Structure 1
Amino acid sequence: MPWDEQNSWNAIHETSIDRLNMAAPLLGATGWIDELAQLVAVDTSAPDAPGCERFTAVLQDQFAPLGFALRRLPPDDGVAGEGGPRPQMIAERRTGRPVCTIPLLMDTAAPGALWSRQPFSLTRQGNRLFGLGTVSMKGAITAVWAALRVADAVGLPLRFDPLLLFTTDGAARRWPGLRHLAEQRVAEGHVLWLNGPVAPRIWAGSLGSLELEIRVSDCGGCTPGQSPASVAKPILSALAGLQSDLRRRSSRLPAAPDDGGGMLRPRLSVVSVRANTEQAGPPGCTLLINRSFTAEEGYPAALDELQAAVAHGAREVPGCQVESHVSRRLEPVIDPDRGPNWPQWLRALSWGFGYAPSSFRRWGGMGGSAIGFMQQAGVREILAGGLLRRGQRLHAPDEHTTVEDVEALSRSVLAYLAEVPQIPDYN
């Protein structure tokens, strides 16, 4: 009997499982590598992200044939950052089912000088795929596209309507696109966040983080030619004292098993110290400070404490003007796994990547994430996965993923979204 003529409930469910098993081997035939190559070829690097406009046109060409209605959101004057307003786009395909929101970042950091390959050209070497954004998050966009493409090809029904949010939060310092969408209550249902590691992980959440830019200038009491770091030495000493104090604090988030266990601790680090070369005369410098903070501390208290340390050190800087401002803020994520959909997502990850169910461990992340603003806006449950392998750094020179990882993530998304009574055991 043809599939579409079966009317038994059990038969329909058995047919869905058959179609899921049929769909997974077809992922390679979707041409997803060519689709990823199109995304990598567009320069969406921060801070100016000149290609984001063109990138949205590529996304339109990819997702509109899958039945998605894509709409651009008008830039919000209140959230314009470096490079001015940038595009945000929503793609939705409504069938009346519950919604799963999938945020997908379009921008990357600028490529550094150490690339040995063309960063804006997808290069394949064996099973490795090199290109800027292949790990974060152009590879994830492609994995979602391939999952939806193959589901449509075999007629596999979905139990969720995917709501795709395309924003530019990944590398930009001051462009809070995802935060803006969260505040506008655009997200619905629960969130599937695909900017994490390849690991059998139950995501326990993450610390928040802020970056404080400190500018030391007009140092009339200093000697011309004095090094920039020496000008700010009292401020750096005060920050070192705060850093020592933070080592004695702890969050309630477990660290990754490979990091020796225990609980995550807040940190303070000096990202950069650079001379103010645009000014003549007395030396000056700009410090960029990163401070991670726990949910228990909270952003206001963490910022107040950091600014107090800067002010204490500034009193010992002779005749200098010291100014500071927050260049980036990311909120913590708290208990994102406390929801009804995590068991299904774990089965999907097992089916996609081949993880044994017993291998999953619950642990949190050090780095803040724009997804924290989603929780602040009321979305509690956030499922997590991604393409980042341990030891990799996002947007690092020669960034790369593998064919197997993209297809494994795509299989996981496919299995999770599929309308099946139970995801099959991995075989």
Structure 2
Amino acid sequence: MSAHVDAAVADLGRMIAVDTSFPPGLGYDDFAGLMEELVAPLGFATERVAVPEALWRVPNGPAAGPRTNLIASHSSGRPACGLYFHVDTVPAAAGWETAPLRLERDDDRLIGLGAADMKGCIAAVLLALRAARVCGVALAYDPMLLFCTDEEGGLYPGIRYLAEQGRLPDHTLNFNGSAEARIWAGCFGLFNLLVRIHGQAVHAGEGNRKGSGLNAIDAALPLLNALTELKEKVATRISALPPPPGKPPLAAQLNLAAISGGTAGGQVPALVELTVNRRYAPEERFEEALAEIEEVIRRSTAAMPGLSVETALVGHLMPTADPAGPHWPRWQAAMGAGFGYAPEEFRKWGAASCSDFGWVQRATGQSEVLLGGLGRPDRNIHSPGEYTTVPDIVSLAKSVLAYLAVDFRPDINPDLPSSQS
């Protein structure tokens, strides 16, 4: 794998060049086409599964274009193991020093939007599967590759739809995680609330005259202040989830994630749009967290006659409960084999970052979710200059191949007959 990693780097460059940023998520069809091309030589059959528009369409919401998911599989009668990737990225933020949709290589650094989260993981898994094919490695599982939409922000994620349709295998490796020696303990939930404040546009020269116009930006100021106060209150709510080593306890969060309004200096602005992002701990109830924000909106915008306010939920990821299960010891051993971690180096922790696998747990009733990936604290995930490294891609590929191989730790493979374990 180390000798052939350049092919994986080339794959990653092609993936990054396809803009799958959400919002709006217009590149999913093109990305599915690229994946079909890359997995065909490995003998996979592919199927495109689109999330029905009625499930994800929100008036004035952030999404546009078909939500095309791709399942790649082949069946030999072995148990299936899902290998999950979300194909969407966040939009490129201001501050990139390189072109975010063009892979840049700086020695072992591979820089580009989605390099770590999580297109680099796809490149690593393809590298592992090619090695298995070329070297004739006998597999314990039939890999099922799941290329899924809309994890970023949680707008009816593709993996949720596949789970609800009964399309998932009995256990799945989720690559939306870390390259560190980590055992996943679960994570927070998330929702995004779009707030639209409607005023009345008039000539800016008339804007200060009583009864003339209604400035939507002025009307938004009390709401912004009220949400800032609520943000401090929310941050006092501490979760019992174990935090990452050396980090403070995990706390609930409220963020003012996006705002836009107005058209020109010569016109009183008639519309402000604000997106509120709320990360809620497993101990909190979604309904109560949403109602708390909606009450703040109602109170802070009630004083201005003629103002109208509408809200819409434009994304929701449920908390992921404790994902432990019978396959975790072997996946931990595979991560150790690939990255060189000793068993005593592994620690169990949760995160205030979120996952679409809370929906999978709810839909399937299966709690176990294996987690790995290319995340590390310094990799600028969701930030300018996001990167992964060539050694991490090789190490993840080794971990995946070890886990899939029939002769790796058969003593702790719960899916082998007892005579072989």
Q: TM class by shorter-chain length?
A: 0.7 to 0.9
8 Å CA contact 1:231, 1:284 repeated in 2: no
Q: CA deviation at 1:223?
A: 4.3
SS at match of 2:353: coil
**Matching of residue 391 in structure 1 with residue 368 in structure 2:** no
The residue aligned with 2:134 is 153
Return the letter of the residue paired with 1:320: L
Cα pair distance change 1:272/1:226, threshold 3 Å: farther
Q: Which of 40, 45, 50 matches 1:64?
A: 40
Cα pair distance change 1:421/1:328, threshold 3 Å: closer
8 Å CA contact 1:219, 1:318 repeated in 2: no
**Matching of residue 350 in structure 1 with residue 331 in structure 2:** no
Q: CA deviation at 1:118?
A: 2.7
Cα pair distance change 1:370/1:153, threshold 3 Å: same
The residue aligned with 2:231 is 243
SS at match of 1:158: coil
Q: CA deviation at 1:315?
A: 2.3
The residue aligned with 2:148 is 167
The residue aligned with 1:18 is none
The residue aligned with 1:366 is 352
Residues 333-344 of structure 1 mapped to structure 2, 5 A cutoff: 333-337=320-324, 339-344=325-330
The residue aligned with 1:408 is 395
Query: What's the TM-score once normalised by structure 2's chain length?
Result: 0.86
How many equivalent pairs are there?
397
1:183-234 CA distances to partner (integer Å, 9 max, x unpaired)?
Answer: 11211111211111221111110000111111222269x8489986642233
Q: What is the CA RMSD across the aligned residues, in angstroms?
A: 2.7
The residue aligned with 2:15 is 39
The residue aligned with 2:419 is none
The whole-number CA distance in structure 2 between the counterparts of 1:120 and 1:272 is: 22
8 Å CA contact 1:40, 1:134 repeated in 2: yes
Point out where structure 1 has 5 or more consecutive residues left out of the alignment: 1-23
Residues 108-127 of structure 1 mapped to structure 2, 5 A cutoff: 108-127=89-108
Q: Which of 86, 97, 103 matches 2:84?
A: 103
Q: CA deviation at 1:113?
A: 4.4
Residues 255-404 of structure 1 mapped to structure 2, 5 A cutoff: 255-260=243-248, 262=249, 264-277=250-263, 280-281=267-268, 284-337=271-324, 339-378=325-364, 379-404=366-391
The residue aligned with 2:418 is none
Cα pair distance change 1:215/1:376, threshold 3 Å: same
Q: CA deviation at 1:175?
A: 5.2
The whole-number CA distance in structure 2 between the counterparts of 1:240 and 1:120 is: 34
Q: Percent identity?
A: 37
8 Å CA contact 2:190, 2:277 repeated in 1: yes
Residues 204-223 of structure 1 mapped to structure 2, 5 A cutoff: 204-218=185-199, 223=208
Point out where structure 2 has 5 or more consecutive residues left out of the alignment: 58-62, 202-206, 412-421
The whole-number CA distance in structure 1 between the counterparts of 2:99 and 2:408 is: 45
The whole-number CA distance in structure 2 between the counterparts of 1:276 and 1:108 is: 28
Return the letter of the residue paired with 2:135: V
1:286-323 CA distances to partner (integer Å, 9 max, x unpaired)?
Answer: 22211111223232222122212222222234542121
SS at match of 1:411: helix
The whole-number CA distance in structure 1 between the counterparts of 2:269 and 2:33 is: 49
Return the letter of the residue paired with 1:83: A
SS at match of 1:62: helix
The whole-number CA distance in structure 2 between the counterparts of 1:167 and 1:400 is: 21
The residue aligned with 2:160 is 179
**Matching of residue 203 in structure 1 with residue 203 in structure 2:** no
Return the letter of the residue paired with 2:395: A
